[in-house]
């Protein structure tokens, strides 16, 4: 995770009981940081695959071995493991887009070479197309989240989200305080169009789903109070605080430091006001900070803007996708044009995930956004953006190419090709 801003942590303060007013204020403080625009952080997730037996699950001992090796390797990115064994590379904050793309690309290449030495590949696809949604990461946090989803009637969507999805995440500075409303609004407004452009998960559990992004479909099957867009952009820090207070708590730490799933919907506000006691106690600042990490809206506020709505795609597509969304956000002229281009498509989250560029409105906004980005993107990424523009002009996204390949060679062979690519 590329972190640009963080609250100062004091152990004694973190353990003190927290009132609702203090929790609200702390959430506001954590939302956005007054900053210059320009720094870029990129994160990519990939699915670990056994080369030669792509349909077989990767085991936790395999994951531990390779991630330990990667953390000792000479790469700049942080290496973490998602619940289903997906490997995430989080590049450090870079001074500009070109540096961020180049750095993460180098690290991803090194990781792929290292994995191959252990008989593993990395599949760049938004949802695992053939394997069951099964948790292998034993972290107590993930076990508790799984139990929470099961207890609150969202077991299937939760299992897919945790164990079968992979994203490209773009982290951008919040910018000067006076620009916060416009930047947060634009980040959300771009979401459906960029989702339609990047959609790369047409398959799940061995079947074509009829959706361009099964990854986004899984997110939309979870509680909107935790995973839906944050309503209200005119005062984004306050909107984030209201969202955080209204979101259900997924888990708490018990008296023996175990992680306990919350088995029914209880908002943080209810806990902080004393309406409900979780873990037989009042919440602390540490509880709030953990709660904020369990909120997954398409645009998450973490001192910076965390854009979470992009499917991961092949190494010849994701740099262009990162370039387009960053250019549309951070170049002033491009941002103004993109805001106009996506005004009508801002609500079309379901259409983007299901239909992608087959939706005429999204196809028009995508073509306009690519044309805008092509005029303003850094020259070093111009060729990649032009190739993506050609794909968009054809009415296709990366997932359409994958679906075509599945039709030619079958799901398992297509997945294995992704892992070898």
Q: Which residues of 88-109 are buried (b: 16+ CB within 10 A; e: fewer)?
A: bbbbbbbeebbbbbbbbbebbe
Mean pLDDT for the chain overall: 95
Beta carbons within 8 Å of 360's beta carbon, 6+ residues apart:
none
Return the CATH fold of 11-420: Creatine Kinase; Chain A, domain 2 (3.30.590)
| Rounded Cα distance, 24 and 278, in Å | 18
pLDDT of the residue at 4: 46
Residue 276, H or E segment: none
Q: What's the mean pLDDT in 301-319? A: 97
Of all residues in the chain, the percent with pLDDT exceeding 70 is: 97
Structure tokens at 345: 């498509």
| Rounded Cα distance, 266 and 19, in Å | 16
| Rounded Cα distance, 89 and 166, in Å | 11
Q: Running DSSP on this structure, what letter comes out for residue 15?
A: T
pLDDT at 398 > cutoff 60: yes
pLDDT in tens, 213-240: 999 999 999 999 999 999 988 999 999 9
pLDDT at 11 > cutoff 60: no
Reduce the secondary structure of 364-409 to three states and give it as a string. Answer: HHHHHHHHHHHHHCCHHHHHHHHHHHHHHHCCCCHHHHHHHHHHHH
pLDDT of the residue at 421: 80
pLDDT in tens, 133-170: 999 999 999 999 999 999 999 999 999 999 999 999 99
Strand partners for 252? 260
pLDDT of the residue at 3: 41
pTM flag (> 0.85): yes
Domain boundaries, the chain: 11-420
Q: Which residues of 40-62 are buried (b: 16+ CB within 10 A; e: fewer)?
A: bbbbbbbbbbbeeebeebbeeeb
Centre a 10 Å sphere on the Cβ of residue 8 and count the other Cβ atoms it contains.
Answer: 5
């Amino acid at each position: 995770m590329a972190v640009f801003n963080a609250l100062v942590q004091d152990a004694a303060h973190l353990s003190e009981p927290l009132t609702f007013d203090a929790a609200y204020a702390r959430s506001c403080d954590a939302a956005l940081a007054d900053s210059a625009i320009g720094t870029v952080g990129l994160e990519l997730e990939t699915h670990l695959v056994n080369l030669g037996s792509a349909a077989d699950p990767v085991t936790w001992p395999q994951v531990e071995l390779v991630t330990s090796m990667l953390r000792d390797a000479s790469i700049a990115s942080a290496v973490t493991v998602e619940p289903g064994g997906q490997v995430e590379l989080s590049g450090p904050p870079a001074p500009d887009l070109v540096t961020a793309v180049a750095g993460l690309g180098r690290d991803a290449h090194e990781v792929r070479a290292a994995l191959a030495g252990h008989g593993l590949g990395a599949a760049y696809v938004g949802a695992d197309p053939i394997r069951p949604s099964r948790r292998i990461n034993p972290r107590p946090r993930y076990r508790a989240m799984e139990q929470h989803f099961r207890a609150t009637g969202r077991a299937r969507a939760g299992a897919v989200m945790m164990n079968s999805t992979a994203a490209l995440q773009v982290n951008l500075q919040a910018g000067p305080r006076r620009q916060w409303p416009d930047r947060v609004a634009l980040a959300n407004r771009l979401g459906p169009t960029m989702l339609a452009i990047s959609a790369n998960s047409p398959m799940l559990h061995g079947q074509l789903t009829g959706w361009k992004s099964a990854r986004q479909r899984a997110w939309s099957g979870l509680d909107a109070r935790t995973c839906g867009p944050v309503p209200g952009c005119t005062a984004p820090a306050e909107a984030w605080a209201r969202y955080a207070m209204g979101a259900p708590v997924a888990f708490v730490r018990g008296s023996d430091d175990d992680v306990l799933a919350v088995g029914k919907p209880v908002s943080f506000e209810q806990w902080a006001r004393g309406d409900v006691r979780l873990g037989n106690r009042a919440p602390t600042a540490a509880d709030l900070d953990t709660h904020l990490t369990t909120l997954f809206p398409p645009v998450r506020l973490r001192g910076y803007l965390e854009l979470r709505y992009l499917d991961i795609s092949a190494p010849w597509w994701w740099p262009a996708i990162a370039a387009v969304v960053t250019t549309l956000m951070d170049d002033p002229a491009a941002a103004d044009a993109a805001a106009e281009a996506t005004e009508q498509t801002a609500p079309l989250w379901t259409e983007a995930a299901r239909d992608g560029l087959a939706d005429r409105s999204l196809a028009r906004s995508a073509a306009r956004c690519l044309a805008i980005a092509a005029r303003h993107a850094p020259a070093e990424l111009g060729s990649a953006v032009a190739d993506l523009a050609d794909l968009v002009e054809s009415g296709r996204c990366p997932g359409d190419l994958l679906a075509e390949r599945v039709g030619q060679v079958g799901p398992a062979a297509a997945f294995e090709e992704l892992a070898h690519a």
